[in-house]
Amino acid sequence: MTRRLLMLGGAEFVGRAVVEAALARGWEVTVFHRGLHEPPSGVRSLQGDRTAPDGLAALADGTDTWDAVVDTWSAAPRAVREAARLLAGRVSRHVYVSSCSVYAWPRPAGYTEDAPLVEGASAGAHATDYARDKRGGELAAVEAFGPERSLLVRCGLILGPYENIGRLPWWLNRIAAGGPVLAPGPRDLPLQYVDVRDLAQWTLGAVEAELHGAYNLAGPPGHSTMGALLDACVEATGARAELRWTDPEVVLGAGIEPWTQLPVWVPAGSDLHAAVYSGDVSRAVRTGLRCRPVQETVAGTWSWLGSLGGPAPRRADRPAVGLDPAVEAKVLGI
């Protein structure tokens, strides 16, 4: 039996990866999107703006049914609620791509799906902050579909092709430029992330297995390290770059912001490192999550960047990432 997927979005990053993986599995895919980007070939395309009056009109035909709908919405949860309510009678399972940000701060090392949660934003409210909006989206999905038909995919750091945040693309482009590169230490700093393609494969497998409830989704803690990531960037780009490993105290003493100015990197032993890179993902691993080596994630991203013929896309609702070259040069003494 051919499965039928409705993807809300589907032209960028996570949505696009899910669509491509579904097509590769032989699924019939419908993509509902605003028309700002071309979705992958082979899909049925429906257009609408979820923030506009009657923006869901293209989905209002009650004759269409799907095995699953996947929603990645991360602004005011009203959009999740309205789409979920409209589709609850015609879709078997709702998959909401959420975030580990829904857990209350500070997140303890090794936190599981049972960790305390933030208060969700009201589904009728305007956008508040990322964590509360994502939790509000979760609540809206479960309210419409019920707990037995809802899957909450609480992602950690997501890397790979189509990334429109700019974290791994920034490192690749910086290293491709060559010369001395400020590499924040230590080299063996453990990272935890998921390749967007592995996220997509697990999600579709979860639909096939009729999973429900919340799952932390990232690779196991320490799946890679900062050193392995940047070494892979040097290898993929073939650049004449010199990674100059620098103590965290020197980086922080220069006023450099972890995570944003030096994407992916956060100092070991900090609350931020525990929150971002130590989540318990054993539930996802037990249910089929497989994570490719960091070299494949980096090489795939570099190949995608090379295919664009221009700058990589970047979401306007996320802060810019990357380090000012003048600041880098000053820290390195060049």
Cis amide bond preceding 106, omega within 30: yes
- What is the structure's pLDDT at 190? 97
Per-residue pLDDT reduced to its tens digit, 153-210: 999 999 999 999 999 999 999 999 999 999 999 999 999 999 999 999 999 999 999 9
Instruction: Name every residue whose Cβ is closer than 8 Å to that of residue 162 and which is 6 or more positions away in sequence.
Output: 12, 13, 14, 16, 17, 196, 304
Categorize the per-residue pLDDT at 310 as very low, low, confident or very high, splitting at 50, 70 and 90.
confident
Per-residue pLDDT reduced to its tens digit, 92-130: 999 999 999 999 999 999 999 999 999 999 877 677 899
Helix, strand, coil distribution of the chain in percent, nearest 5: 35, 20, 45
Q: Is residue 121 part of a domain?
A: yes
Q: What percent of the chain has pLDDT over 70?
A: 99
- Give 154's strand partners: 98, 216
Name the residue among 56, 17, 69, 32 with its Cα closest to residue 202: 17
Burial of residue 126, with CB atoms counted within 10 A of its CB: 0-12 exposed, 13-18 middle, 19 or more buried: exposed
* 88 and 107 inside one domain: yes
Per-residue pLDDT reduced to its tens digit, 225-252: 999 999 999 999 999 999 999 999 999 9
Instruction: Decide which of 155, 175, 210 is a domain's last residue.
Output: 155
* 315 and 259 inside one domain: yes
Distance CA 215, CA 141 (A): 15
Distance CA 196, CA 159 (A): 6
Q: Is the pLDDT of residue 314 over 90?
A: no
Q: Is residue 74 part of a domain?
A: yes
* 171 and 97 inside one domain: no
Q: Is residue 204 part of a domain?
A: no
Q: Is residue 289 part of a domain?
A: no
Instruction: Decide which of 155, 171, 206 is a domain's last residue.
Output: 155
Distance CA 86, CA 325 (A): 49
* 167 and 136 inside one domain: no
* 142 and 230 inside one domain: no
* 105 and 169 inside one domain: no
Per-residue pLDDT reduced to its tens digit, 130-150: 999 999 999 999 999 999 999
* 119 and 226 inside one domain: no
Q: Give the phi and the psi of residue 70 in degrees, each rounded to 5.
A: -115, 125
Q: Is residue 201 part of a domain?
A: no
Cis amide bond preceding 186, omega within 30: yes
E strand map for 186-325: 190-191, 193-195, 213-217, 224-225, 241-246, 258-259, 262-263
Instruction: Say what the pTM is.
Output: 0.96
Enter the tokens of residue 20.
Answer: 């491509």
- What is the structure's pLDDT at 127? 76
CATH number at residue 73: 3.40.50.720
* 241 and 107 inside one domain: no
* 168 and 44 inside one domain: no
Q: Is residue 29 part of a domain?
A: yes
- What is the structure's pLDDT at 126? 73
Number of domains in the chain: 2
Q: Give the phi and the psi of residue 24 in degrees, each rounded to 5.
A: -65, -25
Q: What percent of the chain has pLDDT over 90?
A: 90
Question: What is the average per-residue pLDDT within 74-94?
Answer: 96
- What is the structure's pLDDT at 125? 67
* 143 and 117 inside one domain: yes
Name the residue among 264, 259, 240, 276 with its Cα closest to residue 106: 276
- What is the structure's pLDDT at 161? 97
Q: Which domain holds residue 84?
A: 4-155
* 253 and 123 inside one domain: no
Q: Is residue 260 part of a domain?
A: yes
Per-residue pLDDT reduced to its tens digit, 8-18: 988 899 999 99
Question: What is the average per-residue pLDDT within 67-77?
Answer: 96
- What is the structure's pLDDT at 35? 85
For the chain, what's the residue count? 334
Range list of H helices, 191-243: 196-208, 226-237
| Most distant pair of Cα atoms in the chain: their distance | 66
Q: Is residue 200 part of a domain?
A: no
* 325 and 271 inside one domain: yes
- What is the structure's pLDDT at 28? 98
